[in-house]
Amino acid sequence: MKTEITDLLKIKYPIIQGGMAWVAEYHLAAAVSEAGGLGLIGAANAPVEWVREQIREVRRRTDKPFGVNIMLMSPSADEVAKIIVEEQVPVVTTGAGNPEKYMTMWKEAGTKVIPVVASVAMAKRMERCGADAVVAEGTEAGGHIGENTTMVLIPQIVDAVSIPVIAAGGIADGRGIAAALMLGAKAVQIGTHFVVTKESQVHDNYKKAILKAKDIDSKVTGRTTGHPVRALRNQMTKDYLKLENEGASPEELEMLTLGGLRKAVVDGDVVHGSVMAGQIAGLVKEELTCQELIQKLVKETDTLMRGTNCYE
């Protein structure tokens, strides 16, 4: 399981836990890193001091590498970007924008920079900006998404750039990891399955909703606003899609999702909240510790890569 990414990030296994807003806090990130993957803290729109505290809590729990995911559209992005340097965070992944203006500062601090992209053009642009790798995320993923599927995106980005590519979207077992590696990826980023782990602090209702979900149970809202989001179908997605079909304004639509992820993650309101999860939720059948999940993924991948099929 040694790849360019395990070498670059100094981790044991090429498995990264997605920097998920509200979900990816220190218990989860530390557990993933301690188990040999790369745990990420999801900074999203969180207050700056919360991010600093999270970083320190991860460090209290593990001496292994970890990272922070920054949403570049967040009003506090500039300040969080500085915290990365002050706290000497080993890895930063970025979403919703171009991290160019922070690149020199992060590079000088020795931080590895990995933007999340959903197209070949964006991957090439990030490589030109000096990114160390990219996460290529397919439309199967939970949360904010692009148009291309993982299957078509990975090989095209792999051919277009010379930095290593990390595959995300629709991966939850060894078959997914082996397939991603075959497509040319050097690691995978997993979100949905890490939401359902013992260390994940999300409300039990959220975990149960993922465990119960079938292949067709996710819906994409926000296509008309240009900000598509994948979440499990519930009353919120039903109301949203109805309004969207009726041509509601972006402001009206936003009212439905405002604070929706928090509602689902913290309050356990899986009816009116936004239960962000990917299409692969249907494959998530048990809640394991991060250590157990990573060991299972590694064993399955290893078996497949050696040419035997452990699923038969």
Query: How far apart are alpha carbons 121 and 84 in whole angstroms?
Result: 27
Q: Which one of residues 189, 234, 237, 301 is an interface residue with ligand FMN (CB under 6 A)?
A: 189
116 binds ligand FMN (CB under 6 A): yes
H helix runs in 187-289, sequence order: 192-195, 204-212, 235-245, 250-257, 260-265
Where does this chain touch ligand FMN (CB under 6 A) — which range of 76-84, 122-130, 184-192, 244-252?
Answer: 184-192
The CB-of-246 to ligand FMN minimum distance in angstroms stands at: 27
Q: Which one of residues 11, 58, 178, 190 is an interface residue with ligand FMN (CB under 6 A)?
A: 190
Judged by beta carbon, residue 158 or residue 281, the one nearer ligand FMN is: 281
Angle separating helix axes 150-160 and 120-129, nearest 10 degrees? 40
Question: What x-and-dash track marks residues 75-104 binding ligand FMN by CB under 6 A?
Answer: --------------------x---------
Total chain residues near ligand FMN (CB under 6 A): 29
Judged by beta carbon, residue 90 or residue 191, the one nearer ligand FMN is: 191
CB 231 within 8 A of CB 243: no
Judged by beta carbon, residue 137 or residue 244, the one nearer ligand FMN is: 137
Residue with tokens 């009816």: 271
CB 40 within 8 A of CB 24: yes
Residue 101 corresponds to which amino acid?
K
Would strands 15-17 and 91-95 be described as parallel, antiparallel, or unpaired? Answer: unpaired
Query: How far apart are alpha carbons 165 and 177 in whole angstroms?
Result: 13
Judged by beta carbon, residue 213 or residue 253, the one nearer ligand FMN is: 213
The CB-of-19 to ligand FMN minimum distance in angstroms stands at: 5
Which residues, at least 6 apart from 307, have a Cβ–Cβ distance to it below 8 Å? none
23 binds ligand FMN (CB under 6 A): yes
Which residue's C-beta sits nearest to ligand FMN? 191
42 binds ligand FMN (CB under 6 A): yes
CB atoms within 10 A of CB 311: 10
Which residues, at least 6 apart from 154, have a Cβ–Cβ distance to it below 8 Å? 136, 138, 165, 167, 180, 183, 184, 185
CB 184 within 8 A of CB 158: yes
Q: Which of residues 269-308 bind ligand FMN (CB under 6 A)?
A: 276-278, 280
257 binds ligand FMN (CB under 6 A): no
Where does this chain touch ligand FMN (CB under 6 A) — which range of 124-132, 164-172, 212-220, 221-229?
Answer: 164-172
Judged by beta carbon, residue 103 or residue 297, the one nearer ligand FMN is: 297
CB 51 within 8 A of CB 68: yes
Q: Residues in the site for ligand FMN, rule: CB under 6 A?
A: 18-21, 23, 42, 44, 69, 71, 95, 116, 137, 140-143, 168-171, 189-192, 195, 276-278, 280
